[in-house]
Each structure stands twice: as structure tokens, then as C-alpha cells.
Amino acid sequence: MILFVNACVREDSRTQRLADAVLFGKQSVTELCLEDLKFPAVNEEFLIERDRLIAAGKFDAPTFDLARQFAAADEIVIAAPYWDLSFPAALKQYFEQINVIGITFRYTEDGRPMGLCRAKTLTYVTTAGGTFVPEEYGFGYVKALAEYFYGIPDVRIVKATGFDIAGADVEAILREAETAARTMDFKEAVRWFADKWIGKFTDPDVSYLELVDHFMADDCRALGFEMDCAQAFSEKYEVAFHDLEALRDVIQEITDIPLLGSAVYSKWRYFNHWSYSAAEILQPENREWFTVVLEQMKKLACI
Ligand SMILES: Cc1cc2nc3c(=O)[nH]c(=O)nc-3n(C[C@H](O)[C@H](O)[C@H](O)COP(=O)(O)O)c2cc1C
């Protein structure tokens, strides 16, 4: 299980969007939205009760739910905007809840923390308004916790900065960061993408809305495919963009995954925007067109 600790607060959060790129194609992600949690006040009463439970070895108490969830995760992704040289207070509250001796770490006899967490990787995703973004109070702090307390050896940062500078091209900054964020093996992501959409295009009960709504475009963008109205594809393979039989004739010679991705994205755009009726995407020859291209992408991604 991948635990996604989401400390973003804004509806159009750039940090969340960058985190989506990091998580793209990952299976079994559990999202923990910190805004939805009500953290108890960590006052003396709370600490006394917590120490009592730890001393009694009652680690299954509900108060330790978050700590147990964190310790059991196979991988951690944390998304937090850069606030006041650091991150939102809710994330600090979260750490106060999960730092539990006996669950996420323990102390050695000479007083050093030793990690008890399962995860080997923690990815910290952040975005900042400016470019003065020292890491020591935000990422640096999380990295120290991860390495020294939780025992997570591989701690990475994925960040984008300069969003709030006058005249900043927010979309361009985000796109560049999203591309860099795709740390996952590209071919693995392509296999996942192809499998997912082959499944949908071959599903007799699929609704045309599922195929023409923004979902496929989101996936294409996350993989870096370009919607160029099939220009690059048509220059090389002419009518294959419109004609299934022509596509079948050339598909085996196409070995460029981004070019196939761009053709898929452009074809999606045709039905999403240009076609007389978007529901035409369900016609057998159209489903087949997508399936043939996606099968070839999958084949190339398996080499
Ligand atoms: C409370 C608050 C504090 C902020 N502090 C900083 C800061 O110290 N340095 C900086 O460069 N930007 C700062 N910003 C700007 C945000 O980092 C920037 O807008 C970021 O992209 C917001 O992420 P989001 O879109 O995920 O909410 C701050 C924003 C807020 C709301």
C-alpha cells in the first residue's frame, strides 16, 4: 500500500497536481487528506494517556491508528505546499500523532532513534510561490525524521517554485515539474496506461462519457504525450489516423511510443471536441482503432 499524506488545502492546489504526477500509475494508493482529520490537542492529558498505553503495550489503541498505518505502508508520498519556509501546521500535527515509540521507531540503548517502518521510499512533493526556498525547515526536517526516526533510507523531493512571481507562467512551470516528477519507469507507466484503456475500449458496457471525458487526456498529459491534432502522426503515416485498415497496415512498423501516445491523445480530442457526436467513439471501428494503437504501445513497453 502506498500512503499518500495530503497536506494541500486549496481546491486548485499546484502541489496536489504535482503529487498526482508522482502517483500516476501507482497501484493501491491510500490517500490521507489531513484537512479531513481532527487532531487531538497534544496537551499533558493526551501525553499521559499515550505514555500509559505505550507502557502497557496497547499499540492497537485507536489513538495509534495513524502511526500503525504509516509504519505498515510500503511507500510514502507526502504533498505539502511551501508555507513560511516550511509546510502547513497540519503536517506537524500529523507527525506528532505518528511519532510513537514502539510503532514507527524505538530508541536504542544509547538513546539513538531506530526506525520501525516498512517503507523504503518517501517522496516529498512541494511547490513554492517564490524562489527563495531553503530546504532545511520543510523537506530537510521531513528527511531527517524519515531517515533517523522512521528508518526510511530513500527520501526524495519533487518540487516546483516561482509560481507567485509577477508574470509567472504557472502552467508551464507545472508541466515541466510534472514531467520531471514522473520518476516511475516510463515503460511501466505506459503498460499501465495501455492496459487500463484497452480494458475500457473493449468493455461492451463502457459509457461513451467515460471514454470522451477528461480522464484519458489527464493520463496522456501525465505521460507527456502531446495533443497536436495528429500532425506528427499524419505526416508519417498519412491516412492511418482516420482509417483503421491503413492503421493495421503500418502499426507494426511504428516503434515510437510518444508518437503513438500523441495519436491516441489527438484521436481522443477529435471525439471530445470535433466529432458530430461524441458517442461515435463507441462504434466498433473506433474502439478497434484505439485498441490497435494501445496494443502496439503495450507491446513496445514490454520490450
Ligand atoms: C500561508 C502561506 C505561506 C506561504 N509561505 C511561502 C514562503 O514562505 N515562501 C514562498 O516562496 N511561498 C510561500 N507561499 C506561497 C505558496 O508556497 C505557493 O503559492 C504554493 O504554490 C501554494 O501551493 P498550492 O497551490 O498547493 O496551495 C505561502 C502561501 C501561503 C498560503
Q: How far is CA 252 from CA 67, 191, 255, in A?
A: 51, 17, 8
Q: Mutate which of 5, 22, 126, 164 to test ligand 1's pocket (most atoms within 8 Å of Cβ)? A: 164
Ligand 1 pocket, residue 90 CB under 6 Å = no
Phi-psi region of 25 (alpha: psi -120 to 50; beta: other; left: phi over 0): left
Which residue has its alpha carbon closest to ligand 1 atom 22?
Answer: 81
Number of other residues whose CB lies within 10 A of the CB of residue 155: 18
Phi-psi region of 112 (alpha: psi -120 to 50; beta: other; left: phi over 0): beta
Distance from C-alpha of 220 to C-alpha of 218, rounded to nearest angstrom? 6
Distance from C-alpha of 137 to C-alpha of 87, rounded to nearest angstrom? 8
Cell (9 digits) for 296 = 502496439
Q: Phi and psi at residue 59, in whole multiples of 5°?
A: -75, -10
Ligand 1 pocket, residue 129 CB under 6 Å = yes
Burial class from Cβ neighbours inside 10 Å (0-12, 13-18, 19+) for residue 279 reads: middle
Distance from C-alpha of 31 to C-alpha of 40, rounded to nearest angstrom? 20
- In the chain, the domains with their CATH numbers are 2-184 (3.40.50.360), 187-301 (no CATH)
Which residue has its alpha carbon closest to ligand 1 atom 17?
Answer: 128
Q: Which atom of ligand 1 is nearest to the CA of 131?
A: 11
Residue 76: CA count within 13 A, CB half-sphere: 29
- Given this model, what pLDDT does residue 286 score? 97
Distance from C-alpha of 251 to C-alpha of 221, rounded to nearest angstrom? 22
Q: Mutate which of 82, 92, 174 to test ligand 1's pocket (most atoms within 8 Å of Cβ)? A: 82
Distance from C-alpha of 227 to C-alpha of 262, rounded to nearest angstrom? 6
Q: Which atom of ligand 1 is nearest to the CA of 17?
A: 26
Q: Is the pTM of this model over 0.85?
A: no
Q: Are strands 105-107 and 113-115 parallel, antiparallel or unpaired?
A: antiparallel
Report how far ligand 1's centroid is from the alpha carbon of 165 (Å): 11
Return per-residue pLDDT of the chain as tens, 303 residues.
999 999 999 999 999 999 999 998 788 999 999 999 999 999 999 999 999 999 999 999 999 999 999 999 999 999 999 999 999 999 999 999 999 999 999 999 999 999 999 999 899 999 999 999 999 899 999 999 999 999 998 888 999 999 999 999 999 999 989 887 765 568 778 988 999 999 999 999 999 999 999 999 999 998 889 999 999 999 999 899 999 999 999 999 999 999 999 999 999 999 999 988 999 999 999 999 999 999 999 999 887
Cα–Cα nearest to 76, from 15, 2, 150, 8: 2
- Given this model, what pLDDT does residue 224 score? 86
Ligand 1 pocket, residue 83 CB under 6 Å = yes
Report how far ligand 1's centroid is from the alpha carbon of 100 (Å): 30
Distance from C-alpha of 82 to C-alpha of 73, rounded to nearest angstrom? 25
- Given this model, what pLDDT does residue 24 score? 82
Cell (9 digits) for 254 = 511504428
Which residue has its alpha carbon closest to ligand 1 atom 4?
Answer: 83
Give the DSSP letter of residue 213.
S
Ligand 1 pocket, residue 85 CB under 6 Å = yes
Ligand 1 pocket, residue 8 CB under 6 Å = yes
Distance from C-alpha of 41 to C-alpha of 26, rounded to nearest angstrom? 34
Coil, helix or strand for 141? helix
Q: Mutate which of 83, 126, 139 to test ligand 1's pocket (most atoms within 8 Å of Cβ)? A: 83
Residue 238: CA count within 13 A, CB half-sphere: 5
Neighbouring residues of 147: CB distance < 8 A, sequence distance ≥ 6: 153, 155
Q: Tell me, what amino acid is at 129? A: G
Q: Which atom of ligand 1 is nearest to the CA of 130?
A: 11
Burial class from Cβ neighbours inside 10 Å (0-12, 13-18, 19+) for residue 194 reads: buried
Burial class from Cβ neighbours inside 10 Å (0-12, 13-18, 19+) for residue 160 reads: buried
Reported in sequence order, the residue ranges of 197-290 that DSSP labels E, i.e. its strands, are none
Which residue has its alpha carbon closest to ligand 1 atom 20?
Answer: 128
Number of other residues whose CB lies within 10 A of the CB of residue 275: 14
Which residue has its alpha carbon closest to ligand 1 atom 7?
Answer: 84
Q: Tell me, what amino acid is at 234? A: S
